[in-house]
Structure 1
Amino acid sequence: MVCMFDDKTARNVVSSTLTGHYRSAWRNYGEVDQGTKDYRWNLFCKQCTWAPELNDHVKRTFEVKFADQMRDMFHAVAHRMNGKKLKWMIEEVHKDMMDVLANNDTY
């Protein structure tokens, strides 16, 4: 399947790489280890195709979109949902997230 980032399918694939594999209380993309970043990129690559000459552009766009979703999700739990656990989130990760929030007065 060919994915463009304004395409619903591509947005869903980016979202599923976050929700399906959120295994640590990352507040932002900078906190994610390189192995996890590579794993998520590879998941995206398995579900979408594009012209090879666009690979660098697609990867940068994927990273920006993924980072935006991660930041927005953490902010939503922390502020809009008042710490309520998302139904797809692992209990231990939610607890770690609440610990991060309790110990970080800048977030």
Structure 2
Amino acid sequence: KRFHPLESEWLGYVFTLGDVTFYHSGDTDFLEAMNQIRCDVAFLPCEGHYTMGPEDAVRAAAACHARVVVPVHWGGTRENAEQVKELFDGEVMILEQGMPS
């Protein structure tokens, strides 16, 4: 999409706490490079207009072998996050605004 050109060199983060590896993609679309990431928990956008939608978020989760997906930037309603939950085989944690971390 025109909102996240590769030339911008924006990035996501992979970090490990204890024995759990997390991936936070940031605002992005599906990228083939996600196949090189290995994580336990993936924070993936699923809004669908400015970022990847639910289907591509699930595709990204599969690419990086995530066991748990946390949908982010889901567009103000739960619909896109719920779609991720319906489509993904693993665990999906839908966080609410103001939920303690």
- Indicate the structure with greater strand content: 2
- Indicate the structure with greater helix content: 1
Larger Rg computed on CA atoms: 1
Q: Which has the higher contact order (CA 8 A, sep 6+)?
A: 1
